Structures are given as C-alpha cells and as structure tokens.
Amino acid sequence: MLRRILSAWKLVTAMGIALLLLHGARPEHASSQMWFGWGGVRGDELELLARLVAAEAEGEPYAGQVAVAAVVLNRVDSPQFPNSISGVAYQPLAFESVSNGLIWRRQPSAQAYNAARDALNGWDPSYGSLFFWNPSKPVSPWIWTRTIVVRIGSHVFGR
C-alpha cells in the first residue's frame, strides 16, 4: 500500500508540471457555473453576447432575448460546439448577424445587456437548446429534424 502511495507520489511530482498545466488550461466546467454563475466572464465577452442578442433578437420578448443568449452559453457547455463565447459566436456560418455584419452595426440596448447578464447568471428560457430559428424565414429543412423545446416570440428553440 505504502509503495503504491509512494510510486503515485513520485509520478505526481514527475508529472507535476504537466498536470499543473492541465489544470490551468482546463475550463472550470458546468458544475461550478451552475453553482456560482458565470461570475468570471470578462467585460468584452459580455459585450459580444449582448451584441449577438441585439442583432439576433431585436424586437423579441425579453424572455426570447435571454433565451438567445442562453443558446450561445449552452453551446459553450456542449461538447458538440466550440468551448468559448467567442468560439461559438464566430464559428463560421453559425450566426447570420455575424455573417452579414449586423452585429457590429447595432449598439446593444440596456435590455440586451441585461438579457446577456441574466443568461450568464443561469436563466435559460430555452431549457438547454442548442439552436433557434425563425420559421417564417427561409430555413434549411435540416433544422426541423431537431427536437423542438419551446417557441418564444417569433423564434423556435430546439436541441
């Protein structure tokens, strides 16, 4: 037993640097976010999220704006999408407003910032959705293969 502990210890000290690096690089995951919110989000990430909300959910009910921000964060949390807010926002062809530049033309309102903050604090009116789309606009038929969770305003949210 002692030998096992000692060899484990030697291994840990030998690997110390690698493991330290790992811990530094590894993002604190869902549980701590669930638990303390995304308190540590940077100001520029908050702004990016608010800009996406303003460009993608202008004129939508407030819950719909929070839900759009929540979809971005659900993607960050999902192994199926990039691991950061900027990674998700700038994933090629992921958001129309990034492709057409609307995201930079529109200054987010105070409400868009609050919607981004509420999503960061854990409000998720989309219940873990990874997609949203506007069924009155032309969309790829593929999107309807997703499981629909809820409809808010003119958007459909699904996983």
Partner 1 sequence: MSEAQQWTGTERRWRAVAALLSVLLLAALVWGALERTERVRAERMYTAQFQRALFELIAQVEQTELLMAKSLVSGSDPRRVMYLTDVWRQSFGAQASLNQLPLGAGALMRTSQLLTQAGDYAYMLARKTARGDAVSEDDWRTLGELQRQVRVIAEQLHGVPGDPAPRAMSRGGLHRPARGRLDDGPGAFRDGFQRLELQLAEFPTLIYDGPFSDHVLQREPKGLAGPDIDADEARRVAREFLPYDLSEDDLTAPGEVEGPVPAFRVRAMRRAGLIDVDVSKKGGHVVWMLDARPVGETNLSLDEAVQKARQFLAQRGLAAMEPTWASAAGHRAVIPFAAVEEGVVIYPDLVKVTVALDNGDIVGYEAMGYLMSHHDRTIPRPALSEEEARARVSPLLSVGRGRLALIPLETLEEVLTWEFPADLDGDPYIIYINAATGDEERILKLLQTEEGTLVI
- Is residue 73 a contact partner of residue 121, using CB atoms and an 8 Å limit? no
- Nearest-angstrom CA–CA distance, 19 and 30: 21
Nearer to partner 1, 105 or 151 (CB): 151
Nearer to partner 1, 39 or 107 (CB): 39
Smallest gap from residue 116 Cβ to partner 1 (A):
10
Helix, strand, coil: what percent of the chain each, to 5? 55, 10, 35
Smallest gap from residue 86 Cβ to partner 1 (A):
12
Nearer to partner 1, 15 or 104 (CB): 15
Number of helical (H) and strand (E) elements in the chain, helices listed first: 8, 3
Smallest gap from residue 114 Cβ to partner 1 (A):
5
Q: What does R_g of the chain's alpha carbons equal in angstroms?
A: 19
Smallest gap from residue 57 Cβ to partner 1 (A):
12
